[in-house]
Structures are given as structure tokens and as C-alpha cells.
Amino acid sequence: MKVANTSRLKLTLQSKMVLLTLLPMLVLALVLSLLEVRSSMTRIEETLAEQREVLVDERETTVRYLVESARNAISHLVDNPNLSEADAQAEAQQILQNFRFGKRELRFCF
């Protein structure tokens, strides 16, 4: 009794050799490509984190300098005993209106 095995692919010896040669190379190329993509994504994330840190540091420094400048601009009002508190606050408000932070023109109030 002969059983017909039609589900099996009939490959020639040359086809089998080509498959045995190319298939591992294709798998290796795919694995190496995935590793490179993963490595690139890690580098990009690290770079973005560094850039974010630099931007935050720059903003903190800018705000620190602006606050220091504003404090220096109104320090003479605090030290002046001839001005009432209301007058000193009104003058300080006038002076501080000119202090801005960023493009949004945020104002500082003390």
C-alpha cells in the first residue's frame, strides 16, 4: 500500500542548499537590524533627556537672574523709611511691570 505524500514540497538539492545558506543570513541580518534600531532608540532617548535637562537648567537660571534683577530694582524702596507701605508697593508695581519672562510676557509679582 502506497501512501501519497502530496503535502511535502519537493525541493531540489540546489534549492535546499540555497535555503540553508540564505535563511541563516537573513535571520542574522534581521536580528542585527533589530539590535541597531534598539540601540538607536536608546541613544535618542538619552539625548532627549540631556536636552531637556539643559533647557530646564537654562530656564531656572533665567528666572533666578530675573528675580535677582527685580529684587535689586526695588531694594531702594524697601530701604526708604520716607515711603509708606502703600506708596512703596505702588512704585514697586510700576517698576516690576517692565520685567518679563519669555515670549509669553509673564509678569512677576512679589
Q: What is the 3-state secondary structure (H, E, C) of 23-78?
A: HHHHHHHHHHHHHHHHHHHHHHHHHHHHHHHHHHHHHHHHHHHHHHHHHHHHHHHH
Higher pLDDT among residues 1 and 63, named by residue: 63
Q: pLDDT tens digit string along 30-62?
A: 999 999 999 999 999 999 999 999 999 998 998
Helix axes 13-78, 85-96, angle to 10 degrees: 140
Partners of 100 in the β-ladder: 107
If one compares 80 and 101, the residue with the highest pLDDT of the two is 80
78 pLDDT above the threshold of 60: yes
Residue matched to cell numbers 503535502: 7
pTM of the predicted model as reported, rounded to 2 decimal places: 0.56
C-alpha cell at 100: 518679563
- Which sign does the torsion angle of CA 23, 25, 26, 32 carry? positive
In the prediction, which pLDDT does 73 show?
Answer: 87
Spell out the domain ranges in the chain: 13-107
